[in-house]
Amino acid sequence: MWDTTGVDRDRIDELHRACVEAVEPAVERFRGRLGRSGFEGADGSLASLTPVTGWFLEHVAEPRPGGATSVPPWWNPEVPTAEHGHPARWPLTRAQIELVDEFQAYVSHVILSIRADARWVVFEGPSRDHRNGETMIGVTGGEPFAARELVYRLALDAVHFDRPVRVTTVHDAVFDWLTSTHA
């Protein structure tokens, strides 16, 4: 991922625009991927997040030879992936990062369709917060939601740490955020 701490505002704005512009194409790729696998439950609803998370957890661990040739805008292309670096330090392949990107785009799409006041924001917190400069979803008066961070952690838990992950994790996180940020 890009380390946006200490990055100038123009570069952060450029990364933010690239991340936001990449969301809808990633959602479309994800829906196509789901459809090709025979999965039909991605209707964009909050309830869909549980079965879609189950599908994601089942498929993110699959080895996909060749995989993706590029990385999403939120991933620094100079940072190695599992096929090019030390897997203990960079445990996901480009293909897995691509799937993380598509799923986090779907999660973001669900949130943005549920909350009319939700919008893309650049996180600005205390100076030492590692999330500064990251693209998230925000609402007035509430903490921003980091769909990418949530999905990336899920992938790490499932693939790298071999930890069990509840299929309700994403649904529960989104539901909790939605109910804590009253419309």
Domain ranges in the chain? Answer: 9-180
Largest CA distance in the chain: 46
Phi, psi at 67, each rounded to 5°: 50, -155
Q: How much is the pLDDT for 88?
A: 64
Indicate the range of 9-13, 31-35, 77-81, 111-115 predicted with least confidence. 77-81
Tokens representing residue 63 in the block: 């080895």
| pTM assigned to the model | 0.91
Q: How much is the pLDDT for 97?
A: 92
Give CA separation, 103 vs 6, 88, 163, in Å.
28, 23, 19
Q: Please name the residues in contact with 150: beta carbons below 8 A apart, sequence gap of 6 or more.
A: 104, 107, 169, 170, 173
Phi, psi at 169, each rounded to 5°: -55, -50
The pLDDT of 66-93, averaged and rounded, is: 76
Q: Which pLDDT band, with edges at 50, 70 and 90, does 68 fall under?
A: low
Q: Which pLDDT band, with edges at 50, 70 and 90, does 106 fall under?
A: very high
Q: How much is the pLDDT for 66?
A: 59
pLDDT in tens, 47-66: 999 999 999 999 998 766 55
Nearest alpha-carbon partner for 12 in 3, 25, 21? 3
**Side chain identity at 121, as an amino acid letter?**
V
The pLDDT of 163-175, averaged and rounded, is: 95
